[in-house]
Structure 1
């Protein structure tokens, strides 16, 4: 399934903040976690993720630090800030409103599909 660019753009911030809220992590782990959470439907690239991480860091929602991992590779790890957590909570409430409205529309559509009357 191809997700629209608009939907991807709108959802990327709360998704990334939510993943990082689970614990300090680095880019590749974020990409893999998003893929896992979406059942493979979201296949993010470095070119999509890193500009977003830099923007969120610049906005004060994330902090970062360089660490050497188990494989002796230097990686930039990201953690969510208090401001980032507040933003995540605010966006969660907004998405819940949108999700509720869409679910109601789709339930109503399903009911109307079941009761459609055909005129001859």
Structure 2
């Protein structure tokens, strides 16, 4: 498991986000990632399967099932509870970072007290 959410790349984030809707196979994950990212993230097949392998090794996704369709194996992946927690933590981290930049111009920065 990663030490922090900073180890989640943008493509990994969108793969995890895609799997929040339920188990998907590689091609469906790729289409969902493209849609969720507004077309910004379009990993090649090799890159996508590398991401899936790394996320599976980290325990944040797992193989849900395998089936054969038109003579080809199709592997479905699902997000684990750890993966849900990771993608939610990463979303909160990005939201907090964005709020610093998107606050009204000239608005004072009020850091949160340590430990709050």
Q: Structure 2 length as normaliser, TM-score?
A: 0.72
**Larger RCO of the pair (alpha carbons < 8 Å, separation 6+):** 2
1:13-32 superposed Cα distances (whole Å, 9 cap, x missing partner): 22111101111001111111
What secondary structure is seen at the aligned counterpart in 2 of 1:74? strand
What does residue 113 of structure 1 align with?
A: none
Structure showing greater radius of gyration is: 1
Report the alpha carbon displacement of residue 37 of structure 1 after superposing the two structures with TM: 2.2
What does residue 108 of structure 1 align with?
A: 105
In 1, distance between residues paired with 2:25 and 2:101?
33
Report the alpha carbon displacement of residue 72 of structure 1 after superposing the two structures with TM: 4.8
The answer to whether residue 66 in structure 2 is matched with residue 66 in structure 1 is yes
In 1, distance between residues paired with 2:71 and 2:46?
24
Q: How many residues align?
A: 98
The answer to whether residue 50 in structure 2 is matched with residue 51 in structure 1 is yes
Q: What's the C-alpha RMSD, in Å, of the aligned pairs?
A: 2.0
- Between Structure 1 and Structure 2, the one with more helix by share is 1
In 2, distance between residues paired with 1:48 and 1:19?
16
Report the alpha carbon displacement of residue 77 of structure 1 after superposing the two structures with TM: 0.7
What secondary structure is seen at the aligned counterpart in 2 of 1:108? coil
Unaligned runs of 5+ in 1: 1-8, 110-120
In 1, distance between residues paired with 2:60 and 2:82?
5
Unaligned runs of 5+ in 2: 1-7, 107-116
**Runs of 4+ residues over 6 Å off in structure 1:** none
Report the alpha carbon displacement of residue 38 of structure 1 after superposing the two structures with TM: 2.9
